Structure 1
Amino acid sequence: MVSPVTLWSRRSPMSDNPPRSRWLAAHTLGLGGVSLALLAAFVWRQASAKAPLMPLRIFRSRNVSGANLVQILTLSAMFAFQILVALYMQKVLGYGALETGLAMLPAALAIGGVSLFVSARLNTRFGERAVLLAGLVLLLGAMGWLARIPVRADYLTDLLPVMLLIAGGGLVLPALTALGMSGAKVDDAGLASGLFNTTQQIGMAFGVAVLSTLAATRTDQLLAAGQSQPAALTGGYHVAFAIAAALLVAAFTAALLVLRQPRQDTAAPQQAAQPIPVA
């Protein structure tokens, strides 16, 4: 079986055969316009239907709306990390598929370990909102570190710290789930859970599509300027990770200004979607 990262690397804009479609290409603009039109039609239908699939009243809760927004921004950065770091290791550092998997294993273990054994205790002691903000700071540190990664990186000093900082995802996802569900009424728990699952997918797809395209565009510019392929690829990844850091800053700001710590006696039952581990 071919791994998802290997499949993506074959189709990636930074592969040896980059796609022809660009930001202002008719193909890109046409499909983008159709997507926006379909989204607008869906919202209009939900607002006018007698028995809507997704009642828009769910967005009246600032915790539901805020948690879903923060999730889209955060997962856009986190999932792009998974793809772009793997590409960097293979295309710049020359790692094989097995070496890349082993190199990223600490990130997976860190996220899983923190999510399973640490996050619940911290949420109980400090509150989900505070834990969420702390996790976002750790993720921001990881992306900021990667935005300055050198062409000839050393794993222990340049990459391993990132794999440990990315453990912030294990704090962010459970806290977001609890905050998002806390703003939903008991009757809307299933609706809020389904919405949360949907925005997970939106965030991941958005991050991979936009950040990899930005990286590819910058790489093409550097190659045209005469830089070597490893240097140009690294420069492209720097742009993507810098944008990922900006997305996390936006997520932190939204969480700080919009989300509120729920009271234990009014919190909705947490029948939320299980967070998707990244890395």
Structure 2
Amino acid sequence: MTARSGRPAETGLDPELRRLAVVVVLGAIMTILDSTIVNVAVNTLGRDFHTSLSTIQWVLTAYTLALAVTIPVTGWAVRRFGGRTMWIASLVLFITGSVLCGAAWSVGSLIAFRVVQAVGGGMLMPVGQTMLAAKAGPRRMGRVMSVVAVPAMLGPVVGPVLGGILVDDLAWRWMFFINVPVCAVALAAAFAWLPADTERVRDARLDVLGLVLLSPGLAALVYGLAQAGGGHGVSDPRVYGWVAAGAALIAAFAAHALRRRERALVDLGLFRDRAFTTSVTAMFVYVAAVFGVMFTSPVFFQAVRGDTPLRAGLLLAPMGIGAMITMPVAGRLTDRAGSRLPALAGLVLVLAGLAFFTRLDAHTGTLAPALAIFVVGLGQGTMMPSLMAAAYQRLDRAAVPAATAASNIVVRVGSSFGVAALAVALQIYLRRAFPATGGSVASAAAVRTPDALTRLAHAFAHGFWWAVAIAAVALVPITLIPGRPRDGLSVVEGDGAVAEPLDDRV
């Protein structure tokens, strides 16, 4: 790659970058909401379609698996067709899937249309992240990533709450129809504001073998982890089978990608860059811990305290509020001082908030958990934009699409791993406290004596220690994140100029 000089990278967020950020957030927020918005409607869907809950669970599972299968291809698609083209195509596909889901006439049609919806939604966030990272340049990366983090942070918190409101006051179909007006505005903004695609690589060839190995491998791995987290536990041989199959396919892809190098579906050469490797490793560990708590804590509120699903979901809302407070500050701090300091500060806040959950008991009120989850949100808003910025700041501009696909894959697997890990931990402690239940939360919660509730609360508290331990592991990669890039050495400039890359390999 040849270097060329250009004017110094801009440090402010110019109008074009702001418009791009608005387009990305408008489109991405609804796709991430749809990852969790249906969770609270499982019982309603089972009743309306006269089918079992195990069948209805595929409405959730199909969406998750389709997301995992779609993400790997986004890097190639952006290089081949351009960010604007792929963004608009993905948004149209997501809107189409949403309308079809709302009009579904059977559980089978709903599951099929959720796949259509997820294929569009799975590409939107990585494509938007790629466009923003390429436009921003290293000096504005922190602030831009704080914008990208908004839907990623709010979706899992707001989704169940919004779903509960729509199901209670309207009908389950509105969980899908509500996407249409928001995404229609995003589509209009995309046509008006997104710049034309000028950097397409028209001869970029799809790594078909890589796709055949990686996408099914991710789907099998995510499904196996979901089975472990969904009550089957590690004792079920099917869990081992799916996880082993997924791991084998991913390992085969890794061997293939190392031979194919930059022509692979996902360029594993990215992991030679220390900043990228340490930041995505920290994201994997952190996301595993926090998603595990976001999955387990509402179960605690319902099983021990007897809260409704909507009330349990509302108790997660302070996380989003906390994140919104610290994200803008973290973005500016990252651009000035680098990613390491804000990421460490955020992790300390997260650990402090998570530590409270290890003290939960049967008499815990509402205020204390809300404050604890608020502190976790403050930490998350500080940490995630910094880590996301660190992943891009030292990469070649041409590597941004592949880096986006790789980091999104890591986050997707990390969230599944975290949910599975905390669910398995909870089952272990429930079997000890309630030997006759086989680790079932519902069976343990059915015994409403004071002693049983105390033992149930302690089982959850012990399980939350796993989240604290997992999150603490992130300290290691964060401390290894390189310092702030030196002036003039980063390759992605805010105006599109390309400078000599900073060689910082592991």
TM-score where L is the length of structure 2: 0.48
Distance in 1 between the 2:458 and 2:39 partners?
20
Partner SS state of residue 77, structure 1 = helix
How far apart are residue 252 of structure 1 and its match? 1.1
Partner SS state of residue 434, structure 2 = helix
Structure 2 equivalent of residue 6 of structure 1: 40
2:405 matches 1:212: no
How far apart are residue 159 of structure 1 and its match? 0.9
Paired residues of 1:181 and 1:268 also in contact (CA < 8 A)? no
2:456 matches 1:259: no
Distance in 2 between the 1:94 and 1:79 partners?
22
Letter of the 2:424 partner, please give it. T
In 2 relative to 1, CA 125–48 (structure 1 residues): closer, same or farther, beyond 3 Å? closer
Partner SS state of residue 416, structure 2 = helix
In 2 relative to 1, CA 100–183 (structure 1 residues): closer, same or farther, beyond 3 Å? same
2:471 matches 1:248: yes
How far apart are residue 232 of structure 1 and its match? 3.7
Measured against aligned partners, the alpha-carbon deviations of 1:111-158 in whole angstroms (never above 9, x if no partner) come to 13322x3222332444321000000011111111111112210122x3
Paired residues of 1:146 and 1:238 also in contact (CA < 8 A)? yes
Percentage of identical aligned residues: 21
Uncovered stretches (5+) of structure 2, i.e. residues with no partner? 1-33, 44-52, 58-229, 438-443, 445-450, 495-506
Partner SS state of residue 484, structure 2 = coil
Distance in 2 between the 1:152 and 1:69 partners?
37
How far apart are residue 233 of structure 1 and its match? 3.2
Question: Residue 53 of structure 1 is aligned with which of 254, 265, 289?
Answer: 265
In 2 relative to 1, CA 75–100 (structure 1 residues): closer, same or farther, beyond 3 Å? same
Distance in 2 between the 1:96 and 1:141 partners?
27
Structure 2 equivalent of residue 87 of structure 1: 299
Tell me the number of residue pairs that the alignment of Structure 1 and Structure 2 aligns. Answer: 262
How far apart are residue 259 of structure 1 and its match? 0.9
Structure 2 equivalent of residue 146 of structure 1: 357
Structure 2 equivalent of residue 15 of structure 1: none
Measured against aligned partners, the alpha-carbon deviations of 1:170-211 in whole angstroms (never above 9, x if no partner) come to 111100011111232222111111211111111111111111
Question: Residue 132 of structure 1 is aligned with which of 343, 352, 357?
Answer: 343
Paired residues of 1:219 and 1:235 also in contact (CA < 8 A)? no
- 1:54-73 map, 5 Å: 54-73=266-285
Structure 1 equivalent of residue 434 of structure 2: 223
Letter of the 1:95 partner, please give it. D
Paired residues of 1:189 and 1:268 also in contact (CA < 8 A)? no
Paired residues of 2:358 and 2:464 also in contact (CA < 8 A)? yes
In 2 relative to 1, CA 88–4 (structure 1 residues): closer, same or farther, beyond 3 Å? farther
- Does 236-245 or 76-85 show the bigger shift? 236-245
Measured against aligned partners, the alpha-carbon deviations of 1:38-65 in whole angstroms (never above 9, x if no partner) come to 1111101111236211222111011111
Paired residues of 1:92 and 1:151 also in contact (CA < 8 A)? yes
Question: Residue 202 of structure 1 is aligned with which of 390, 408, 413?
Answer: 413
TM-score where L is the length of structure 1: 0.84
- Does 159-168 or 242-251 show the bigger shift? 159-168
Paired residues of 2:266 and 2:405 also in contact (CA < 8 A)? no
Letter of the 1:263 partner, please give it. P
Measured against aligned partners, the alpha-carbon deviations of 1:207-258 in whole angstroms (never above 9, x if no partner) come to 11111121122112211289854334323322331111111111012211x2
Letter of the 1:133 partner, please give it. L
Distance in 2 between the 1:147 and 1:239 partners?
6
Question: Residue 394 of structure 2 is aligned with which of 179, 183, 187?
Answer: 183
Letter of the 1:260 partner, please give it. P
2:326 matches 1:114: yes
In 2 relative to 1, CA 99–29 (structure 1 residues): closer, same or farther, beyond 3 Å? closer
Distance in 2 between the 1:182 and 1:160 partners?
35
- Does 73-82 or 30-39 show the bigger shift? 30-39
- 1:230-245 map, 5 Å: 230-245=453-468
Structure 2 equivalent of residue 274 of structure 1: none
Letter of the 2:348 partner, please give it. V
In 2 relative to 1, CA 244–104 (structure 1 residues): closer, same or farther, beyond 3 Å? same
Paired residues of 1:106 and 1:163 also in contact (CA < 8 A)? yes
Distance in 1 between the 2:274 and 2:372 partners?
32
Distance in 1 between the 2:235 and 2:456 partners?
22
CA radius of gyration, larger in:
2
Distance in 1 between the 2:281 and 2:254 partners?
17
How far apart are residue 3 of structure 1 and its match? 4.1
In 2 relative to 1, CA 24–86 (structure 1 residues): closer, same or farther, beyond 3 Å? closer
Paired residues of 1:70 and 1:254 also in contact (CA < 8 A)? yes
Partner SS state of residue 118, structure 1 = helix
Measured on the aligned residues, the alpha-carbon RMSD in Å equals 2.7
Structure 1 equivalent of residue 370 of structure 2: 160
How far apart are residue 26 of structure 1 and its match? 2.3
Distance in 1 between the 2:252 and 2:468 partners?
33
Paired residues of 1:76 and 1:207 also in contact (CA < 8 A)? yes
